[in-house]
Structure 1
Amino acid sequence: MLEARDLAIGHGGKAIGAGLSLDVRPGEILCLLGPNGCGKTTLFKTLLGLIPALGGQVRVDGASLAGLSRAQIAQAVAYVPQQHAPPFPYEAIEIVLMGRTARLGAFAQPGAADRRVAEASLERLGIADLAGRDYSRLSGGQRQLVLIARALAQEAPLVVMDEPTASLDFGNQARVLAEVAKLARDAESEERGVILSTHDPDQAFALGADVLLMRDGAIVGRGRPEEALTGESLSAVYGVPVSVERTESGRLVCAPALRHSAPSMTCDALMMT
Protein backbone atom coordinates (compact mmCIF):
# COMPACT_ATOMS: atom_id res chain seq x y z
CA MET A 1 0.00 0.00 0.00
CA LEU A 2 2.79 2.43 0.91
CA GLU A 3 6.53 1.86 0.72
CA ALA A 4 9.48 4.17 1.39
CA ARG A 5 13.05 3.12 0.71
CA ASP A 6 16.24 4.88 1.81
CA LEU A 7 14.32 8.13 2.17
CA ALA A 8 16.08 11.43 2.91
CA ILE A 9 13.88 14.20 4.33
CA GLY A 10 14.29 17.87 5.10
CA HIS A 11 13.40 21.46 4.23
CA GLY A 12 14.95 23.84 1.73
CA GLY A 13 17.47 21.28 0.62
CA LYS A 14 18.75 20.80 4.19
CA ALA A 15 18.46 17.19 5.32
CA ILE A 16 17.21 16.41 8.81
CA GLY A 17 16.90 12.66 8.29
CA ALA A 18 18.20 9.96 5.95
CA GLY A 19 18.14 6.21 5.38
CA LEU A 20 14.46 5.94 6.34
CA SER A 21 12.60 2.85 5.13
CA LEU A 22 9.11 1.64 6.00
CA ASP A 23 6.07 -0.07 4.52
CA VAL A 24 2.40 -0.40 5.39
CA ARG A 25 -0.05 -2.98 4.07
CA PRO A 26 -3.85 -3.23 4.31
CA GLY A 27 -4.96 -4.10 7.84
CA GLU A 28 -1.70 -2.93 9.40
CA ILE A 29 -1.13 -0.13 11.92
CA LEU A 30 2.31 1.46 12.08
CA CYS A 31 3.01 3.59 15.15
CA LEU A 32 5.80 6.17 14.95
CA LEU A 33 7.34 7.29 18.24
CA GLY A 34 10.10 9.76 19.01
CA PRO A 35 10.83 13.04 20.81
CA ASN A 36 9.85 16.46 19.52
CA GLY A 37 12.02 17.57 16.62
CA CYS A 38 13.13 14.09 15.59
CA GLY A 39 11.54 14.42 12.13
CA LYS A 40 8.17 12.67 12.48
CA THR A 41 6.05 15.45 10.96
CA THR A 42 8.58 16.08 8.17
CA LEU A 43 8.54 12.37 7.37
CA PHE A 44 4.75 12.38 7.18
CA LYS A 45 4.67 15.42 4.89
CA THR A 46 7.23 13.73 2.62
CA LEU A 47 5.16 10.53 2.49
CA LEU A 48 2.17 12.65 1.50
CA GLY A 49 4.05 14.50 -1.22
CA LEU A 50 3.54 17.84 0.55
CA ILE A 51 7.31 18.40 0.53
CA PRO A 52 9.72 16.67 -1.86
CA ALA A 53 12.01 13.87 -0.75
CA LEU A 54 15.70 14.80 -0.78
CA GLY A 55 16.60 11.25 -1.69
CA GLY A 56 15.17 7.76 -1.96
CA GLN A 57 11.67 6.91 -3.14
CA VAL A 58 8.07 6.68 -1.94
CA ARG A 59 5.66 4.33 -3.71
CA VAL A 60 1.88 4.15 -3.26
CA ASP A 61 0.19 0.98 -4.52
CA GLY A 62 3.35 0.30 -6.52
CA ALA A 63 3.38 3.70 -8.25
CA SER A 64 6.02 6.35 -7.61
CA LEU A 65 4.60 9.17 -5.52
CA ALA A 66 6.48 11.69 -7.66
CA GLY A 67 4.42 10.66 -10.71
CA LEU A 68 0.99 10.99 -9.09
CA SER A 69 -1.27 14.04 -9.23
CA ARG A 70 -2.56 15.65 -6.03
CA ALA A 71 -6.01 14.16 -6.70
CA GLN A 72 -4.54 10.67 -7.13
CA ILE A 73 -2.58 11.00 -3.89
CA ALA A 74 -5.68 12.23 -2.04
CA GLN A 75 -7.69 9.26 -3.30
CA ALA A 76 -5.02 6.91 -1.93
CA VAL A 77 -3.94 8.64 1.30
CA ALA A 78 -5.93 10.64 3.86
CA TYR A 79 -4.14 12.94 6.30
CA VAL A 80 -5.07 14.00 9.82
CA PRO A 81 -2.78 16.89 10.86
CA GLN A 82 -1.93 17.90 14.41
CA GLN A 83 -3.98 21.07 14.08
CA HIS A 84 -5.94 23.00 11.49
CA ALA A 85 -7.05 26.64 11.38
CA PRO A 86 -9.35 27.40 8.41
CA PRO A 87 -9.40 30.98 7.06
CA PHE A 88 -13.21 31.13 7.15
CA PRO A 89 -15.86 30.10 9.74
CA TYR A 90 -16.90 26.82 8.12
CA GLU A 91 -19.45 24.53 9.71
CA ALA A 92 -18.09 21.18 10.87
CA ILE A 93 -20.02 19.33 8.14
CA GLU A 94 -18.35 21.56 5.53
CA ILE A 95 -14.91 20.62 6.86
CA VAL A 96 -15.82 16.93 6.59
CA LEU A 97 -17.20 17.40 3.08
CA MET A 98 -13.77 18.70 2.04
CA GLY A 99 -12.64 15.08 2.28
CA ARG A 100 -14.79 14.35 -0.78
CA THR A 101 -12.97 16.88 -3.00
CA ALA A 102 -10.59 14.40 -4.65
CA ARG A 103 -13.57 12.30 -5.77
CA LEU A 104 -15.37 15.19 -7.48
CA GLY A 105 -14.84 16.45 -11.00
CA ALA A 106 -13.45 19.89 -11.78
CA PHE A 107 -15.75 22.64 -10.45
CA ALA A 108 -18.21 20.01 -9.17
CA GLN A 109 -20.08 20.51 -5.91
CA PRO A 110 -20.65 17.78 -3.30
CA GLY A 111 -23.99 16.07 -3.85
CA ALA A 112 -26.47 14.30 -1.63
CA ALA A 113 -24.41 11.08 -1.66
CA ASP A 114 -21.30 12.99 -0.54
CA ARG A 115 -23.23 14.62 2.28
CA ARG A 116 -24.48 11.21 3.44
CA VAL A 117 -20.88 9.96 3.59
CA ALA A 118 -19.86 13.04 5.60
CA GLU A 119 -22.78 12.68 8.01
CA ALA A 120 -22.00 8.99 8.47
CA SER A 121 -18.38 9.83 9.28
CA LEU A 122 -19.46 12.27 12.01
CA GLU A 123 -21.95 9.73 13.35
CA ARG A 124 -19.28 7.02 13.42
CA LEU A 125 -17.17 9.15 15.78
CA GLY A 126 -20.14 10.09 17.94
CA ILE A 127 -20.07 13.78 16.99
CA ALA A 128 -23.07 14.09 14.67
CA ASP A 129 -24.38 16.90 16.90
CA LEU A 130 -21.43 19.08 15.80
CA ALA A 131 -22.43 19.08 12.10
CA GLY A 132 -23.94 22.57 12.07
CA ARG A 133 -21.53 24.12 14.58
CA ASP A 134 -18.89 26.71 13.67
CA TYR A 135 -15.70 24.65 13.38
CA SER A 136 -13.49 27.56 14.49
CA ARG A 137 -15.41 27.80 17.78
CA LEU A 138 -15.11 24.13 18.70
CA SER A 139 -12.71 22.95 21.37
CA GLY A 140 -9.33 21.57 20.28
CA GLY A 141 -10.51 18.03 20.94
CA GLN A 142 -13.71 18.50 18.96
CA ARG A 143 -11.80 19.98 16.02
CA GLN A 144 -9.48 16.98 16.01
CA LEU A 145 -12.41 14.58 15.88
CA VAL A 146 -13.87 16.56 12.95
CA LEU A 147 -10.55 16.22 11.10
CA ILE A 148 -10.62 12.47 11.66
CA ALA A 149 -14.18 12.40 10.32
CA ARG A 150 -12.91 14.26 7.24
CA ALA A 151 -10.30 11.53 6.71
CA LEU A 152 -13.01 8.87 7.02
CA ALA A 153 -15.14 10.69 4.43
CA GLN A 154 -12.18 10.70 2.05
CA GLU A 155 -12.48 6.89 1.85
CA ALA A 156 -8.77 6.46 1.12
CA PRO A 157 -7.19 3.03 1.73
CA LEU A 158 -4.36 4.58 3.75
CA VAL A 159 -4.73 7.04 6.64
CA VAL A 160 -1.80 9.05 8.03
CA MET A 161 -2.42 10.59 11.48
CA ASP A 162 0.02 13.07 13.02
CA GLU A 163 -0.51 12.79 16.80
CA PRO A 164 -4.30 12.37 16.45
CA THR A 165 -4.95 12.16 20.22
CA ALA A 166 -2.66 15.02 21.31
CA SER A 167 -5.48 17.44 22.22
CA LEU A 168 -8.13 14.93 23.30
CA ASP A 169 -9.35 14.09 26.77
CA PHE A 170 -9.07 10.52 28.07
CA GLY A 171 -12.50 9.44 26.83
CA ASN A 172 -12.01 10.84 23.35
CA GLN A 173 -8.52 9.31 23.17
CA ALA A 174 -10.09 5.91 23.83
CA ARG A 175 -12.75 6.57 21.17
CA VAL A 176 -10.16 7.56 18.57
CA LEU A 177 -7.90 4.59 19.32
CA ALA A 178 -10.86 2.23 19.00
CA GLU A 179 -11.67 3.83 15.65
CA VAL A 180 -8.03 3.47 14.51
CA ALA A 181 -8.15 -0.24 15.30
CA LYS A 182 -11.49 -0.60 13.51
CA LEU A 183 -10.22 1.30 10.46
CA ALA A 184 -7.38 -1.16 10.02
CA ARG A 185 -9.02 -4.43 11.02
CA ASP A 186 -12.78 -4.18 10.63
CA ALA A 187 -13.79 -7.41 8.91
CA GLU A 188 -17.09 -5.83 7.82
CA SER A 189 -15.43 -3.17 5.66
CA GLU A 190 -12.42 -2.78 3.42
CA GLU A 191 -9.21 -2.93 5.43
CA ARG A 192 -7.11 0.20 5.58
CA GLY A 193 -3.51 0.81 6.43
CA VAL A 194 -2.89 3.32 9.21
CA ILE A 195 0.25 5.25 10.13
CA LEU A 196 0.10 7.37 13.26
CA SER A 197 2.56 9.21 15.44
CA THR A 198 2.14 9.57 19.17
CA HIS A 199 4.06 10.55 22.28
CA ASP A 200 2.41 7.75 24.29
CA PRO A 201 4.07 4.32 23.89
CA ASP A 202 1.13 2.76 25.73
CA GLN A 203 -1.02 3.45 22.65
CA ALA A 204 1.21 1.18 20.57
CA PHE A 205 0.67 -1.60 23.12
CA ALA A 206 -3.10 -0.98 23.16
CA LEU A 207 -3.31 -1.11 19.35
CA GLY A 208 -0.90 -4.02 18.93
CA ALA A 209 0.75 -1.85 16.29
CA ASP A 210 4.09 -2.30 14.59
CA VAL A 211 6.51 0.32 15.91
CA LEU A 212 9.14 2.63 14.45
CA LEU A 213 11.30 4.49 16.98
CA MET A 214 12.90 7.70 15.68
CA ARG A 215 15.67 9.87 17.08
CA ASP A 216 17.61 12.67 15.38
CA GLY A 217 16.12 11.93 11.95
CA ALA A 218 16.96 8.22 12.01
CA ILE A 219 15.03 5.04 12.73
CA VAL A 220 16.66 3.47 15.78
CA GLY A 221 14.20 0.66 16.47
CA ARG A 222 11.38 -1.25 14.81
CA GLY A 223 9.23 -4.32 15.36
CA ARG A 224 6.31 -5.49 17.43
CA PRO A 225 5.67 -3.28 20.48
CA GLU A 226 6.71 -5.91 23.01
CA GLU A 227 10.04 -6.22 21.18
CA ALA A 228 10.75 -2.61 20.17
CA LEU A 229 9.43 -0.80 23.24
CA THR A 230 11.75 -1.82 26.04
CA GLY A 231 12.90 0.22 29.01
CA GLU A 232 16.35 0.43 27.45
CA SER A 233 15.16 1.60 24.01
CA LEU A 234 12.69 4.16 25.37
CA SER A 235 15.23 5.52 27.84
CA ALA A 236 17.73 6.01 25.01
CA VAL A 237 15.20 7.74 22.73
CA TYR A 238 13.61 10.07 25.28
CA GLY A 239 16.61 10.66 27.54
CA VAL A 240 14.83 9.74 30.78
CA PRO A 241 14.76 6.45 32.71
CA VAL A 242 11.77 4.38 31.58
CA SER A 243 10.58 0.96 32.68
CA VAL A 244 8.10 -1.30 30.91
CA GLU A 245 5.92 -3.17 33.39
CA ARG A 246 3.16 -5.76 33.20
CA THR A 247 -0.01 -5.00 35.14
CA GLU A 248 -2.09 -7.52 37.04
CA SER A 249 -4.39 -7.72 34.02
CA GLY A 250 -1.41 -8.75 31.87
CA ARG A 251 -1.16 -5.49 29.93
CA LEU A 252 2.24 -3.91 29.24
CA VAL A 253 2.58 -0.24 30.25
CA CYS A 254 5.43 2.28 30.24
CA ALA A 255 6.36 4.13 33.41
CA PRO A 256 8.96 6.91 33.62
CA ALA A 257 11.19 6.80 36.70
CA LEU A 258 10.49 10.07 38.52
CA ARG A 259 13.08 11.18 41.06
CA HIS A 260 11.97 11.96 44.63
CA SER A 261 8.45 10.69 44.05
CA ALA A 262 6.36 7.88 45.41
CA PRO A 263 6.11 4.68 43.36
CA SER A 264 3.78 5.18 40.42
CA MET A 265 0.47 3.35 40.14
CA THR A 266 -0.91 2.16 36.82
CA CYS A 267 -4.52 2.79 35.79
CA ASP A 268 -5.24 -0.91 36.45
CA ALA A 269 -3.97 -0.62 40.00
CA LEU A 270 -5.84 2.64 40.65
CA MET A 271 -9.12 1.08 39.52
CA MET A 272 -8.68 -1.67 42.11
CA THR A 273 -8.21 0.72 45.07
Structure 2
Amino acid sequence: MLEARELAIGYGRTQIGSGLNLSVNEGEILCLLGPNGCGKTTLFRTLLGLLPAMSGTVTLGNRPVANQTPATIAQQIAYVPQAHAPPFPFEALEVVLMGRTARLGVFGQPGHHDREIAHNAMDRLGIANLAHRDYSRLSGGQRQLVLIARALAQEAPLIVMDEPTASLDFGNQAQVLMQIASLARDVAARGCGVVLSTHDPDQAFALDARVLLMKDGHELAQGTARDVLTGPNLSDVYGLPVAVETTSSGRKVCMPALTSHH
Protein backbone atom coordinates (compact mmCIF):
# COMPACT_ATOMS: atom_id res chain seq x y z
CA MET A 1 0.00 0.00 0.00
CA LEU A 2 2.75 2.45 0.99
CA GLU A 3 6.36 1.70 0.20
CA ALA A 4 9.65 3.61 0.28
CA ARG A 5 12.86 2.32 -1.25
CA GLU A 6 16.36 3.74 -0.75
CA LEU A 7 14.76 7.02 0.22
CA ALA A 8 16.81 10.16 0.88
CA ILE A 9 14.93 12.98 2.61
CA GLY A 10 15.57 16.62 3.38
CA TYR A 11 14.72 20.26 2.76
CA GLY A 12 16.08 22.03 -0.29
CA ARG A 13 19.70 20.91 -0.58
CA THR A 14 19.97 19.89 3.07
CA GLN A 15 19.80 16.14 3.44
CA ILE A 16 18.30 14.89 6.70
CA GLY A 17 18.37 11.15 6.06
CA SER A 18 19.12 8.49 3.47
CA GLY A 19 18.91 4.79 2.73
CA LEU A 20 15.42 4.50 4.25
CA ASN A 21 13.23 1.53 3.36
CA LEU A 22 9.76 0.74 4.65
CA SER A 23 6.46 -0.76 3.66
CA VAL A 24 3.02 -0.75 5.25
CA ASN A 25 0.62 -3.56 4.47
CA GLU A 26 -3.03 -4.08 5.26
CA GLY A 27 -3.81 -4.60 8.92
CA GLU A 28 -0.33 -3.54 10.06
CA ILE A 29 0.84 -0.92 12.54
CA LEU A 30 4.27 0.54 11.80
CA CYS A 31 5.87 2.60 14.58
CA LEU A 32 8.61 5.12 13.82
CA LEU A 33 10.88 5.56 16.84
CA GLY A 34 13.92 7.73 17.38
CA PRO A 35 15.16 10.82 19.21
CA ASN A 36 14.26 14.39 18.29
CA GLY A 37 15.96 15.49 15.08
CA CYS A 38 16.42 11.98 13.69
CA GLY A 39 14.20 12.74 10.67
CA LYS A 40 10.80 11.25 11.59
CA THR A 41 8.79 14.36 10.70
CA THR A 42 10.72 14.92 7.46
CA LEU A 43 10.11 11.27 6.57
CA PHE A 44 6.39 11.68 7.25
CA ARG A 45 6.20 14.78 5.08
CA THR A 46 7.97 12.96 2.26
CA LEU A 47 5.69 9.93 2.53
CA LEU A 48 2.67 12.24 2.39
CA GLY A 49 3.95 13.94 -0.74
CA LEU A 50 4.43 17.29 1.01
CA LEU A 51 8.18 17.19 0.38
CA PRO A 52 9.87 15.74 -2.71
CA ALA A 53 12.23 12.84 -2.18
CA MET A 54 15.87 13.79 -2.71
CA SER A 55 16.43 10.32 -4.16
CA GLY A 56 14.76 6.94 -4.04
CA THR A 57 11.05 6.29 -4.45
CA VAL A 58 7.80 6.48 -2.51
CA THR A 59 4.89 4.53 -3.97
CA LEU A 60 1.29 4.68 -2.84
CA GLY A 61 -1.08 2.11 -4.29
CA ASN A 62 1.72 0.97 -6.63
CA ARG A 63 2.03 4.47 -8.13
CA PRO A 64 4.79 6.99 -7.38
CA VAL A 65 3.59 9.65 -4.93
CA ALA A 66 5.42 12.25 -7.02
CA ASN A 67 3.03 11.54 -9.91
CA GLN A 68 -0.15 11.90 -7.84
CA THR A 69 -2.16 15.01 -7.06
CA PRO A 70 -2.74 16.13 -3.46
CA ALA A 71 -6.42 15.21 -3.81
CA THR A 72 -5.56 11.68 -4.95
CA ILE A 73 -3.09 11.26 -2.10
CA ALA A 74 -5.68 12.53 0.39
CA GLN A 75 -8.10 9.85 -0.77
CA GLN A 76 -5.52 7.21 0.14
CA ILE A 77 -3.82 8.62 3.25
CA ALA A 78 -5.53 10.25 6.22
CA TYR A 79 -3.17 12.31 8.36
CA VAL A 80 -3.62 12.75 12.12
CA PRO A 81 -1.41 15.58 13.45
CA GLN A 82 -0.73 16.25 17.10
CA ALA A 83 -3.80 17.74 18.79
CA HIS A 84 -3.95 21.51 18.50
CA ALA A 85 -6.32 24.37 19.24
CA PRO A 86 -7.60 26.04 16.04
CA PRO A 87 -7.86 29.85 15.69
CA PHE A 88 -11.63 29.62 15.22
CA PRO A 89 -14.18 27.99 17.56
CA PHE A 90 -15.24 25.10 15.34
CA GLU A 91 -17.62 22.51 16.71
CA ALA A 92 -16.07 19.06 17.00
CA LEU A 93 -18.45 17.76 14.32
CA GLU A 94 -17.27 20.48 11.93
CA VAL A 95 -13.67 19.38 12.46
CA VAL A 96 -14.60 15.77 11.68
CA LEU A 97 -16.51 16.88 8.57
CA MET A 98 -13.30 18.48 7.28
CA GLY A 99 -12.14 14.94 6.59
CA ARG A 100 -14.75 14.74 3.84
CA THR A 101 -12.96 17.48 1.85
CA ALA A 102 -10.85 14.82 0.13
CA ARG A 103 -14.06 13.33 -1.26
CA LEU A 104 -15.95 16.57 -1.99
CA GLY A 105 -13.28 18.91 -3.30
CA VAL A 106 -12.25 22.22 -1.75
CA PHE A 107 -15.51 24.02 -2.53
CA GLY A 108 -17.87 21.07 -2.10
CA GLN A 109 -20.49 21.18 0.64
CA PRO A 110 -21.07 18.14 2.87
CA GLY A 111 -24.48 16.55 2.47
CA HIS A 112 -26.54 14.14 4.53
CA HIS A 113 -24.33 11.17 3.59
CA ASP A 114 -21.18 13.03 4.67
CA ARG A 115 -22.73 14.02 7.99
CA GLU A 116 -23.80 10.44 8.57
CA ILE A 117 -20.22 9.26 7.99
CA ALA A 118 -18.89 11.93 10.39
CA HIS A 119 -21.40 11.00 13.09
CA ASN A 120 -20.58 7.30 12.66
CA ALA A 121 -16.85 8.03 13.02
CA MET A 122 -17.43 9.93 16.27
CA ASP A 123 -19.75 7.23 17.57
CA ARG A 124 -17.18 4.56 16.76
CA LEU A 125 -14.62 6.36 18.94
CA GLY A 126 -17.12 6.97 21.75
CA ILE A 127 -17.17 10.75 21.36
CA ALA A 128 -20.64 11.28 19.83
CA ASN A 129 -21.52 13.45 22.83
CA LEU A 130 -18.81 15.95 21.79
CA ALA A 131 -20.34 16.68 18.37
CA HIS A 132 -21.55 20.18 19.23
CA ARG A 133 -18.86 21.07 21.75
CA ASP A 134 -16.30 23.78 20.99
CA TYR A 135 -13.26 21.82 19.75
CA SER A 136 -10.81 24.38 21.17
CA ARG A 137 -12.23 23.84 24.67
CA LEU A 138 -11.90 20.07 24.67
CA SER A 139 -9.19 18.26 26.60
CA GLY A 140 -6.07 17.16 24.74
CA GLY A 141 -7.24 13.56 24.66
CA GLN A 142 -10.68 14.52 23.38
CA ARG A 143 -9.17 16.70 20.64
CA GLN A 144 -6.91 13.82 19.58
CA LEU A 145 -9.91 11.49 19.31
CA VAL A 146 -11.72 14.12 17.21
CA LEU A 147 -8.73 14.25 14.85
CA ILE A 148 -8.76 10.44 14.59
CA ALA A 149 -12.49 10.61 13.83
CA ARG A 150 -11.70 13.16 11.10
CA ALA A 151 -9.25 10.64 9.60
CA LEU A 152 -11.90 7.90 9.71
CA ALA A 153 -14.39 10.20 7.97
CA GLN A 154 -11.83 10.63 5.20
CA GLU A 155 -12.34 6.93 4.36
CA ALA A 156 -8.70 6.49 3.33
CA PRO A 157 -7.12 3.02 3.37
CA LEU A 158 -4.06 4.28 5.30
CA ILE A 159 -3.85 6.38 8.47
CA VAL A 160 -0.66 8.26 9.37
CA MET A 161 -0.36 9.65 12.91
CA ASP A 162 2.30 12.08 14.14
CA GLU A 163 2.96 11.38 17.83
CA PRO A 164 -0.74 10.88 18.61
CA THR A 165 -0.13 10.71 22.38
CA ALA A 166 2.23 13.69 22.67
CA SER A 167 1.41 16.02 25.58
CA LEU A 168 -1.39 13.76 26.83
CA ASP A 169 -1.72 12.57 30.41
CA PHE A 170 -1.56 8.87 31.28
CA GLY A 171 -5.30 8.27 31.05
CA ASN A 172 -5.68 10.01 27.70
CA GLN A 173 -2.61 8.22 26.33
CA ALA A 174 -4.17 4.89 27.26
CA GLN A 175 -7.48 5.89 25.66
CA VAL A 176 -5.86 6.95 22.39
CA LEU A 177 -3.67 3.82 22.26
CA MET A 178 -6.72 1.66 22.86
CA GLN A 179 -8.43 3.29 19.89
CA ILE A 180 -5.35 2.83 17.67
CA ALA A 181 -5.25 -0.87 18.60
CA SER A 182 -8.97 -1.14 17.83
CA LEU A 183 -8.45 0.56 14.47
CA ALA A 184 -5.68 -1.91 13.66
CA ARG A 185 -7.99 -4.84 14.35
CA ASP A 186 -10.67 -3.28 12.18
CA VAL A 187 -8.33 -2.20 9.41
CA ALA A 188 -7.30 -5.81 8.88
CA ALA A 189 -10.80 -6.38 7.54
CA ARG A 190 -10.92 -3.06 5.67
CA GLY A 191 -7.53 -3.57 4.06
CA CYS A 192 -5.92 -0.58 5.79
CA GLY A 193 -2.66 0.15 7.57
CA VAL A 194 -1.55 2.50 10.35
CA VAL A 195 1.74 4.40 10.59
CA LEU A 196 2.57 6.39 13.71
CA SER A 197 5.54 8.04 15.31
CA THR A 198 6.14 7.92 19.05
CA HIS A 199 8.85 8.66 21.59
CA ASP A 200 7.76 5.81 23.87
CA PRO A 201 9.06 2.32 23.00
CA ASP A 202 6.56 0.81 25.44
CA GLN A 203 3.76 1.92 23.12
CA ALA A 204 5.19 -0.15 20.27
CA PHE A 205 5.18 -3.18 22.57
CA ALA A 206 1.61 -2.46 23.68
CA LEU A 207 0.43 -2.16 20.06
CA ASP A 208 2.37 -5.26 18.94
CA ALA A 209 3.69 -3.10 16.12
CA ARG A 210 6.40 -3.40 13.53
CA VAL A 211 9.11 -0.86 14.28
CA LEU A 212 11.43 1.34 12.24
CA LEU A 213 14.10 2.53 14.67
CA MET A 214 15.90 5.64 13.41
CA LYS A 215 19.12 7.40 14.38
CA ASP A 216 20.67 10.43 12.65
CA GLY A 217 18.42 10.09 9.63
CA HIS A 218 19.20 6.44 9.04
CA GLU A 219 17.58 3.13 9.81
CA LEU A 220 19.20 1.44 12.79
CA ALA A 221 16.87 -1.56 12.78
CA GLN A 222 13.48 -2.66 11.48
CA GLY A 223 11.22 -5.56 12.40
CA THR A 224 8.92 -6.65 15.21
CA ALA A 225 8.98 -4.65 18.43
CA ARG A 226 10.43 -7.65 20.30
CA ASP A 227 13.25 -8.05 17.80
CA VAL A 228 14.12 -4.38 17.32
CA LEU A 229 13.53 -2.78 20.73
CA THR A 230 16.40 -4.42 22.56
CA GLY A 231 18.50 -2.90 25.32
CA PRO A 232 21.58 -2.45 23.10
CA ASN A 233 19.58 -0.86 20.26
CA LEU A 234 17.74 1.56 22.53
CA SER A 235 20.93 2.41 24.42
CA ASP A 236 22.60 3.22 21.10
CA VAL A 237 19.74 5.41 19.87
CA TYR A 238 19.12 7.38 23.06
CA GLY A 239 22.67 7.53 24.40
CA LEU A 240 22.00 6.09 27.86
CA PRO A 241 21.78 2.61 29.33
CA VAL A 242 18.36 1.05 28.67
CA ALA A 243 17.15 -2.34 29.87
CA VAL A 244 14.19 -4.19 28.36
CA GLU A 245 12.43 -6.29 30.97
CA THR A 246 9.47 -8.66 30.99
CA THR A 247 6.73 -8.13 33.58
CA SER A 248 4.97 -10.93 35.43
CA SER A 249 2.12 -10.61 32.90
CA GLY A 250 4.56 -11.19 30.03
CA ARG A 251 4.59 -7.62 28.76
CA LYS A 252 7.85 -6.05 27.63
CA VAL A 253 8.80 -2.68 29.17
CA CYS A 254 11.80 -0.38 28.73
CA MET A 255 13.67 0.85 31.80
CA PRO A 256 16.31 3.59 31.42
CA ALA A 257 19.06 3.80 34.03
CA LEU A 258 18.11 6.74 36.23
CA THR A 259 20.97 6.55 38.73
CA SER A 260 24.64 7.23 38.25
CA HIS A 261 27.51 5.51 39.97
CA HIS A 262 30.30 7.52 41.58
Shorter-chain TM-score: which interval? over 0.9
Q: Match of 2:109, SS?
A: coil
Contact 1:185 1:191 in 2 (8 A): no
Amino acid at match of 2:177: L
TM-score by length of 1: 0.91
**Structure-1 separation of matches of 2:116 and 2:189:** 17
Offset, 1:217? 0.6
Tell me what 1:230 maps to: 230
Contact 1:49 1:65 in 2 (8 A): yes
Tell me what 1:27 maps to: 27
Tell me what 2:112 maps to: 112
1:48-63 matches, cutoff 5 A: 48-63=48-63
Judged with a 3 Å threshold, the aligned counterparts in structure 2 of structure 1 residues 188 and 63 are, in CA distance, closer, same or farther, namely closer
Offset, 1:95? 0.8
Residue-by-residue CA offset, 1:27-61 (whole Å, 9 max, x unaligned):
11111100011110110011001111111110001
Residue-by-residue CA offset, 1:93-141 (whole Å, 9 max, x unaligned):
1111010111115632001111111112112222222211222222322
Tell me what 1:134 maps to: 134
Is the counterpart of residue 92 in structure 1 residue 92 in structure 2? yes
Q: Which runs of 5+ in 1 are unaligned?
A: 262-273
**Structure-1 separation of matches of 2:63 and 2:187:** 27
Residue-by-residue CA offset, 1:171-219 (whole Å, 9 max, x unaligned):
3222222222222222784131011111111111111111110011111
Amino acid at match of 2:203: Q
Percent identity, aligned pairs only, is 68
Tell me what 1:209 maps to: 209
**Structure-2 separation of matches of 1:175 and 1:124:** 13
Contact 2:144 2:176 in 1 (8 A): no
Offset, 1:65? 0.3
**Structure-2 separation of matches of 1:107 and 1:10:** 32
Deviates more, 1:11-20 or 1:182-191: 182-191
Contact 2:93 2:119 in 1 (8 A): yes
Tell me what 1:197 maps to: 197
Judged with a 3 Å threshold, the aligned counterparts in structure 2 of structure 1 residues 49 and 187 are, in CA distance, closer, same or farther, namely closer
Tell me what 1:80 maps to: 80
Judged with a 3 Å threshold, the aligned counterparts in structure 2 of structure 1 residues 200 and 188 are, in CA distance, closer, same or farther, namely closer
Deviates more, 1:56-65 or 1:107-116: 107-116
Judged with a 3 Å threshold, the aligned counterparts in structure 2 of structure 1 residues 83 and 187 are, in CA distance, closer, same or farther, namely closer
Judged with a 3 Å threshold, the aligned counterparts in structure 2 of structure 1 residues 236 and 105 are, in CA distance, closer, same or farther, namely closer
Tell me what 2:257 maps to: 257
Tell me what 2:144 maps to: 144
**Structure-2 separation of matches of 1:71 and 1:7:** 23
Contact 1:31 1:204 in 2 (8 A): yes
Q: Match of 1:186, SS?
A: helix
**Structure-1 separation of matches of 2:188 and 2:74:** 24
TM-score by length of 2: 0.94
Q: Which runs of 5+ in 2 are unaligned?
A: none
**Structure-1 separation of matches of 2:101 and 2:250:** 45
Judged with a 3 Å threshold, the aligned counterparts in structure 2 of structure 1 residues 120 and 81 are, in CA distance, closer, same or farther, namely same
Tell me what 1:271 maps to: none
**Structure-2 separation of matches of 1:173 and 1:83:** 12
Offset, 1:142? 2.1
Q: Match of 1:27, SS?
A: coil
Deviates more, 1:124-133 or 1:150-159: 124-133
Amino acid at match of 1:153: A
**Structure-1 separation of matches of 2:77 and 2:187:** 20
